Chain A
Amino acid sequence: MTVADIVSILNARVLCGENRLDRTVHSAFCSDLMSDVLAFVNEKTVLITGIINPQVIRTAEMLDIRCLIFVRGKEPGEQVLSQAKELGITVLTTGDAAFTTCGKLYQAGLRGVAIEWPESEDET
């Protein structure tokens, strides 16, 4: 699936990075918890989130996330968008809430990232 496909499936608005819509997305992850994102996301993953502060861009930068989808019509400030632009990250916003956003993409064939986390030592 490409970012352009996502735009049309979600009827999303492109806030920046419209010149990179041909990029392929392999999987998706949806969370408002940056540490969960940092634990599970790998390359070519699209991040679906309701967090629109600068930390979400930093998190994306750390993980080489190339596409962000903000839900419930949320739009970040100018500073966040220019930071995203600088890093070559495509930012979309959709009117749907997270559940519906994920449902539409899942139905279209996109799947979640594989969750790999070691069993903690004190669990039996």
Chain B
Amino acid sequence: MSMVHQVYPVAADDFTRAGEASADIKRRLKQLGVSSAVLRRVAVASYEVELNLVIHSDGGELTLNVDQDGVHLISKDVGPGIPDIDQAMREGYSTANEEARSMGFGAGMGLPNMKRNADQFAIESQVGKGTTIEMTFKLA
């Protein structure tokens, strides 16, 4: 399988374009022949992490890397950071605003969804600096 490296800028609060990066990632991986089971897990996690960038962050980027080990997704934003990661990871915890809730977000299930779908999941955050999430999906 050939190497892929793509970076998608994701703007804060841009709900009209939210999900475009994930749709493109899904298309690319499909073209590469990634199995539908893996494709589905990547798509769910990618969409959740992208929507979090739109809803919760001050802007950031989503990076797709594909190599022999599998599919890697990295979400990196410029703030505001997460004060308590354990709390944020808990099912049902959400600080989503009214606008996001009116669109069907704010169940507090995004981060747990990512963790469940990825083979490896790492989150790092610093208040005032930003949040980085790295996920790996094995191809076999």
Contacts and interface: CB of A to CB of B under 8 A. Distances in A.
Chain A interface category by residue count: 20 to 34
Interface in B59-111: 91, 103-110
A55 interface: yes
Nearest to A120: B91
B114 to A, nearest CB: 10
A117 B91 CA distance: 11
Contact of A35 (B18, B36, B107): B107
A91 to B, nearest CB: 16
Given A35-B48, A62-B43, A62-B47, A55 B19 contact: yes
Interface string A54-71: 111011011110000000
Interface in B34-69: 36, 40, 43-44, 46-48, 51
Interface of A: 32-39, 42, 49, 51, 53-56, 58-59, 61-64, 117-118, 120
Interface of B: 15-16, 18-19, 22-23, 26, 36, 40, 43-44, 46-48, 51, 91, 103-110, 112-113, 116
